[in-house]
Structure 1
Amino acid sequence: MKLVWSPETASKAYIDTVKSCESFKESSVAELLSALAAGWNAKLIVEAWSYGGPIATSIGLAVAARHTCGRHVCVVPDERSRLAYVKGMNESAGISATEVIVREAEEAMAELVGVDFLVVDYKRKDFVRVLRFAKVSNNGAVLVCKNACQGNNISGLRWNAVLERGTRVVRSVFLPVGQGLEMAHVGSKVKGEKNLKNSPTRSRWIKHIDQRSGEEHVFRGKFRAEVD
């Protein structure tokens, strides 16, 4: 199954987030992520918040969850972070219904099965573990790493290296919004060999461009169609 985009829902969430984040000087990230989460009709929106970070994105995700009738869950590593997060949400937007899970990354993500939209702060030391242990929805999911320009992350996030083995990255992109957003659309996990074994074999032309030399290579490859 594939994600289905709803421009109407995205627009509503965007406008509501603009209103809710009027007091923030830079809320472009919050507005964009809110629109994306709502537009993809995300039912389980998970956020890995970093202590001391701004709360605007959290407000935007909460707004998106309201429009999709979904859940907005925030994952924090300790009680200090939980208290700061809850206080920030209450003081900034008067939002108190957001679920907060205080766990190590692996334990927290194990509880959240079927993630549709995940936002991780690059400033978190365990941001890779949050991504790796994410249990994405069978319909696919959108994964976002914000503050991607921080530290030495100048060569781009290698999604296949940080995600759980078997996760299929459909498309990835870097957006120069805020402090940088690394985004990836992932599909359901690759089907097992048992399902592919009896599926029909097809062939198609495949184009590959060498990132270093710029040379274009075209070859004919065979693949097996997935059988549901």
Structure 2
Amino acid sequence: MAWSPLDAMEAYMHTLHLCKEFNTNDDHTRGGSGLMEPKCMEFISALAAGNRARLLLNVECGGFSPLTLALAVAARHGGGRLVCIRADQQDARDIEKHTERFDLGDVSEIETGEPREVVKRYEDVEFAVVDRNVEGCVDALSGIKVNPCGGVVVVSNIALEERGEEEEEGTLYARVVKSRGGDIESVVLPICGGLEVTKMGRFRGGRGRRHPPRRSGKTFLVYE
């Protein structure tokens, strides 16, 4: 996953613009995950687009949300496609309506069914966001087949103040994949009700020279 600053910046600005439009419209999402914090959406979109993720998964409760919007924008600017996985057909229709409204339907598709089963259909996932509140969340995380060349998995709504000490350390997904070995780094960010961001694998060749991650404290998410 070769970092592209241009794609990250364009996705950030596009998400900023569309989230403002989305949040001022009364006809929001059906249910949704409640993720409405603008900086969180822009961060996730820039992270996914900057890594030029080709296959992105969005696993949430409810219909279209700002997070779905952010990932669809990332797919647009990073040259990828977004698969939205929902358990309910009505939620799927809500996503279809809104992705078409924001001219993102061509980079988005929707799969319905039990998330823990649907995620197994996809291989070489390069960016996934899974809502902690999804039924069978841990099983869904276990079923994600990350690209062996590298990928990022984000767990949203981990609700640090409500979880046990072990999860407060940001080990929810990292614990799932720890036994598999390999290059794994994880960090917890206090945004969007708590985000656990886990990076796996090495970066594949891409445009320009590859650089190691530039660290800022425990954060590995800024690249050149």
Instruction: State the TM-score, normalized to the length of structure 1.
Output: 0.72
**Aligned residue number for residue 191 of structure 2:** 177
Asked whether the equivalents of residues 174 and 198 of structure 2 are also in contact (C-alpha less than 8 Å), the reply is: no
| Residue identity matched to 1:175 | L
Inter-partner Cα distance in structure 1 for 2:183 and 2:137:
18
Contact 1:167 1:186 in 2 (8 A): no
RMSD after superposition: 2.3
* 1:64 Cα deviation from its structure 2 partner: 0.8
Q: CA deviation at 1:32?
A: 0.5
- The correspondence of residues 87-126 of structure 1 with structure 2, limited to 5 A, is 87-90=97-100, 93-97=102-106, 98-126=108-136
Does the Cα contact within 8 Å between 1:49 and 1:120 map onto a contact in 2? yes
What's the CA shift for 1:139? Answer: 1.2
Paired residue total = 184
Q: Which of 61, 71, 84 is 2:81 aligned to?
A: 71
Using a 3 Å threshold, how does the CA distance of structure 1 residues 94 and 131 change in structure 2: closer, same or farther?
Answer: same
8 A Cα contact 1:13 1:64, kept in partner: yes
Could you list the per-position Cα deviations for residues 17-62 of structure 1 after superposition, in whole angstroms to 9, with x for gaps in the alignment? 111111326322211100000111100011102116x611111111
The equivalent position to 1:30 in structure 2, one of 30, 41, 49, is 41
* Aligned mates of 2:162, 2:189 — CA distance in 1: 17
Using the TM superposition, give the Cα deviation of residue 151 of structure 1 relative to its aligned residue in structure 2, in angstroms: 7.6
**Alpha-carbon contact 2:11-2:45 (below 8 Å) kept:** yes
Instruction: Report the structure, 1 or 2, having the larger strand content.
Output: 1
Q: Pick the aligned partner of 2:51 from 40, 51, 54.
A: 40
Work out whether 1:145 is the aligned partner of 2:169: no
User: Which of the residues 69, 93, 97 maps onto 1:59?
Assistant: 69
Computing the radius of gyration over CA atoms, which structure comes out larger, 1 or 2?
A: 1
Q: Which runs of 4+ in 1 moved over 4 A?
A: none
- Cα distance change of structure 1 residues 35 and 160 upon mapping to structure 2, 3 Å threshold: closer
Determine helix, strand or coil for the equivalent of 2:154: strand
Matches within 5 A, 1:198-209: none
Please give the secondary structure, in 2, of the residue aligned with 1:118.
Answer: strand
State whether residues 30 and 58 of structure 1, in contact with CA within 8 Å, keep that contact through their aligned partners in structure 2: no
Q: Tell me which moved more, 95-104 or 29-38.
A: 95-104
In the TM superposition, residue 5 of structure 1 has moved relative to its aligned partner by 1.5
Shift of 1:79: 1.5
- The structure with the greater share of residues assigned to helix is 2
CA distance in 2, matches of 1:7, 1:64: 13
TM-score scaled by length of structure 2? 0.74
**Where does residue 80 of structure 1 map in the other structure?**
90
Shift of 1:122: 1.2
Q: Distance in 2 between matches of 1:182 and 1:78?
A: 26
Identity %: 31
Give 1:129 deviation, angstroms.
Answer: 1.4
Larger RCO of the pair (alpha carbons < 8 Å, separation 6+): 2
Distance 1:38 1:78 in 2: 28
Q: Is the 8 A contact 2:41 2:67 kept in 1?
A: yes
Unaligned 5+ segments in structure 1 are 189-228
For 1:41 and 1:27, locate their aligned partners in 2 and report how far apart those are by CA, in whole Å: 21
What SS does the aligned partner of 1:152 have?
A: coil
Match of 2:31 in 1: none
Report deviation, 1:165: 4.4
Alpha-carbon distance between aligned partners in 1 of 2:84 and 2:142, rounded to the nearest angstrom? 17
1:73-115 deviation line (CA, Å, top 9, x unaligned): 1011231331233344455x35433200112224311211000
Q: Which structure 2 segments of 5+ residues have no match?
A: 24-35, 203-224
Partner of 2:11: 13
